[in-house]
Amino acid sequence: MAVEVLDGPPSTVPLLARAALTARGRHGGEVPERTLRVEDVVVDRHRLAAYQRLTGYDVSDTLPQAYPWVLAFPVQTALMARPDFPVALPGMVHLENRVTTHRRLDAAEPLTLDVTAGALRPHRRGRTLDVRLEARVAGELVWECDSVYLGRGRGSEDAPRGDAPPALPGGPAVAVWRLPDDLGREYASVSGDVNPIHLHPLSARAMGFPRHIAHGMWTYARTLAALGRGSLGPSTSRVWFTKPVFLPSTVELVVQRSGTGVLAGLRSRKDPSTTHVVVTLDA
């Protein structure tokens, strides 16, 4: 596997613009065997604190489990925006993540971030792609994430289906959250994810959505924060993004605990049969 070391985290705005301009014609079947790496990534504590406030964490030097994904997002975008990448970045759907934190992460520790894309697989609605993210401190693997994305297109009904998320527990909600119209813009300002589907109804409609939607990674982080401090230390969580959360809206948090494991998720307040996010946590 070829490793290409970047000078630093790239800016996402020009990368997203380039990906939009070059989206047509990306129909290849091979993902380049390439790892993009950024070394000595220093956490901006002001940005971290803003992220923690927006996602419901206490402000501290401990990185939330989903935060290294935010740090690696520009590198991931750079990989997917390359001319030889076979799947168009605009319109790509984030389906799920599996994240493991091997030890508590401190904001004072410079990180080395690696991003590698896996092979394409058939899906009933197009093709799926795995992306591997890793974070190291002084050569020690401290955090890892496997994400699954869907490139929408002509699919195959015979394609193998991935693991279905567990059903959310019934019963009353433990919290109700009212998500404001500007949540996508607020999260974009602290995460760097300026995908137009999250920012405004007009830009979302241009991408085929009736309204703008909340970032899946915000819903994931907000759910983990509500579960307590378990995910801040050694732990593994998994998230399935099942239905978009249109803004503004109201969602309910439901939680079921058993031993060291937790099953949680967000459902629609208006229609509780609609599940938006399912999260499992083992700590």
Residues 176-194 have pLDDT tens digits of 999 999 999 999 999 999 9
What is the residue range of 15's domain?
Answer: 2-282
Q: Mean per-residue pLDDT for 153-157?
A: 67
Residues 92-106 have pLDDT tens digits of 889 999 999 999 999
pLDDT at 16 (0 to 100):
80
Q: Label residue 22 by pLDDT band (50, 70, 90).
A: confident
| Alpha-carbon distance values, 19 to 109, 160, 242, 272 (Å) | 32, 29, 25, 36
Residues 117-133 have pLDDT tens digits of 998 887 777 789 999 99
pLDDT at 159 (0 to 100):
61
Q: Label residue 90 by pLDDT band (50, 70, 90).
A: confident
* Concatenated DSSP letters of 223-247: HHHHT-SGGGSSEEEEEEE-S--BS
pLDDT at 163 (0 to 100):
76
The distance from CA 264 to its chain's CA centroid, rounded to whole angstroms, is 17
Q: Label residue 173 by pLDDT band (50, 70, 90).
A: very high
pLDDT at 40 (0 to 100):
97
Q: State the average pLDDT for the chain.
A: 92
pLDDT at 156 (0 to 100):
67
CATH classification of the domain holding 87: 3.10.129.10
pLDDT at 157 (0 to 100):
67
Structural domains counted in the chain: 1
Q: Label residue 155 by pLDDT band (50, 70, 90).
A: low
pTM exceeding the 0.85 threshold for the entire prediction: yes
Q: Mean per-residue pLDDT for 205-212?
A: 88
**C-alpha atoms less than 13 angstroms from C-alpha of 153 in its C-beta half-sphere:** 21
Pairing of strands 2-6, 34-41: parallel
Q: Mean per-residue pLDDT for 248-254?
A: 98
Percent of the chain scoring above 70 in pLDDT: 96
pLDDT at 26 (0 to 100):
67
Expressed in angstroms, the distance from the first to the final Cα of the chain is: 32
Distance in angstroms (rounded) separating the CA atoms of residues 4 and 96? 26
Coil vs helix vs strand at 144: strand
Q: Which residue has the higher pLDDT, 82 or 281?
A: 281
